[in-house]
Amino acid sequence: MRSALIVLVVLGCSKGDDKPAPRPSGPVEVGVVTIQPQSITLQKELPGRTSALRVAEVRARVNGIVQKRLFDEGSDVKEGQVLFRIDAAPYTAALESAKAQVARGEATITAAKSLAERYQKLIETNAVSKQELDDAVAKLKTAEADLASARAAVKRASIDVGYTSVTAPISGRIGRAEVTEGAYAQAQPATLLATIQQIDQVYVDLTWSSTEAMRLKRAIENGDVKNAGKNVVLVMDDGREYSEAGVLQFADVTVDATTGSISLRALFPNPKRELLPGMFVRARIDEGTQPAALLVPQRAVSRDQGGRPQTLVVTAANKVERRPLTTEREIGDAWLVTTGIAAGDRVIVEGLQKVRPGADVIAVPATGGPKSASGSAK
């Protein structure tokens, strides 16, 4: 009997220990941040690749054996610099033959012209027939046509001789030689001899979501974003910023059907030749300034079961209210909010675990306070 009594006493004590501790009576103190509009500079970081300002393929324009290569592979060359020499002997011979044809044509014209002039005088005394005069005039015109053809042949042969010295079409850095001495170059199809790339300035080709581009365009039209600039900052693959600033050149008017993106092109100086064609980079472009942005600290934003952002606000009656938010982007340690919050609202950032919607609270300024978020946006 005594043992049963002890068990009942122990059970009674255990049940008493399981009761939850009573919640503290009265309002709970929470730390809040008062939302105030502020001016921020919006930037967008986009992926891209570098490409040369100009690319020229050096190709053969006459047939022949490559006799000499006159440049160092990987060096800088100047426009007009001779790069290769192709055997010019056949074309020099063709030029001399064409010049001989010109001399023959000139001699033929002299004789035909004298004959035509003589017949023109004799026709007045009926010493020659009209037909003979017409034949002499026709021979003169034929000789003149032959001379013009011979002179064109000289010009064409001179051009071919010039093509045997292959020159650089642009200034830039030349790559490896695609042929060696003794190789046979052809005009049809034109043999690739080398490639020159001008890299004292380089393009950076970027891709941007067409949806975001249209959103920015509407924001500029509505006046929500102002002073959209063309400055571009380049971020290298190792995370450092490139020393030279770039300028946005143009945005493509066509949307890529497979990716839903548009192409942008920026131009960067490259005096030290740090940027090489084909490098992967990221670029920050200025979207503009938003003069009255509302930023909510990230620590004040949570997610509901559907993944939608929300925050807790202290009302004028010092009660907690849950607000669904529309967040546009992350800026520093805050979210840029477009709907769900207004200037002057007090957002709870400290003591979130102690309160629920509808509870009475005492709002005090948060100890940390909001950080300035007037810098770049992601």
pLDDT tens-digit readout, 17-60: 444 445 555 788 899 999 999 888 887 888 899 999 999 999 99
Same domain, 305 and 287: no
3-class secondary structure, 356? coil
Q: What is the pLDDT of residues 91-102, one digit of tens each?
A: 999 999 999 999
Distance CA 68, CA 83 (A): 8
**pTM above the 0.75 mark?**
no
Residue 153 domain flag: yes
User: Considering only CA atoms, which of 194, 174, 196, 176 is closest in space to residue 185?
Assistant: 194
- Residue 73 gets which letter from DSSP? T
Residue 326 · residue 9 · CB < 8 Å: no
What per-residue confidence (pLDDT) applies to 17?
46
286 pLDDT exceeds 50? yes
At residue 13 the predicted structure's pLDDT band, cuts being 50, 70 and 90, is very low
Residues 316 and 243 both lie in one domain: no
Residue 130's pLDDT is what?
85
Is 280 a domain residue? yes
Q: What angle do CA 249, 58, 270 make, to 5 degrees?
A: 35
Q: How many domains does the chain have?
A: 3
**Cα 123-129-134 angle, rounded to 5 deg:** 85
Q: Check residue 369 and give its pLDDT.
A: 52
Range of the domain at 99: 88-163
Q: What is the pLDDT of residues 336-350, one digit of tens each?
A: 898 889 999 999 999
Answer whether 327's CB lies under 8 Å from 335's CB.
yes
Q: Supply the pLDDT for residue 3.
A: 43
> Is-contact 153 19, C-beta < 8 A?
no
Residues 233 and 278 in one domain: yes
Q: Which residues lie below 8 Å from residue 209, measured CB to CB, with a gap of 6+?
A: 260, 261
Higher pLDDT, 286 or 156: 156
Cα 68 to Cα 13, 160, 182: the distances in Å are 105, 17, 8
27 three-class SS? coil
**CATH for 103:** 1.10.287.470
**pLDDT for 2 beyond 90:** no
pLDDT bracket for residue 66 (50, 70, 90): very high
> Do both 272 and 333 map to the same domain?
no
Does any domain span residue 60? no
The per-residue pLDDT for 8 is 39
The whole-angstrom distance between residue 284's C-alpha and the CA centroid of its chain comes to 12
Q: Pick from 241, 260, 291: which residue ends a domain?
A: 291
CATH value at residue 334: 2.40.420.20
Tell me: do 210 and 284 sit in the same domain: yes
Query: Which of helix, strand or coil describes residue 89?
Result: helix
Q: Are both 205 and 285 inside the same structural domain?
A: yes
Q: How far apart are CA 178 and CA 74, in angstroms?
A: 13
Which of 291, 311, 335 is at the close of a domain? 291
Between residues 223 and 271, which one has the greater pLDDT? 271
Any idea what DSSP says for residue 118? H
pLDDT of residue 223: 64
For the chain, the distance separating the N- and C-terminal CA atoms, rounded to the nearest angstrom, is 75
Read off the CATH number of the domain in which 260 is found.
Answer: 2.40.30.170
One domain for residues 157 and 222: no
The pLDDT of residue 131 is: 86
Instruction: For residue 7, give both structure tokens.
Output: 């068990």
CB atoms within 10 A of CB 120: 13
> Does 347 reside within a domain?
yes
**Shortest CA distance to 360 belongs to which of 303, 312, 318, 315?**
318
- The pLDDT value recorded for residue 377 is 45
**Same domain, yes or no: 238 and 306:** no
Query: How confident is the prediction for the chain on average, in pLDDT?
Result: 84
Last residue of a domain, one of 163, 184, 217: 163
Q: Are residues 263 and 306 in the same domain?
A: no
Question: Residues 154-176: what's their mean pLDDT?
Answer: 95
Q: Which residue has the higher pLDDT, 270 or 126?
A: 270
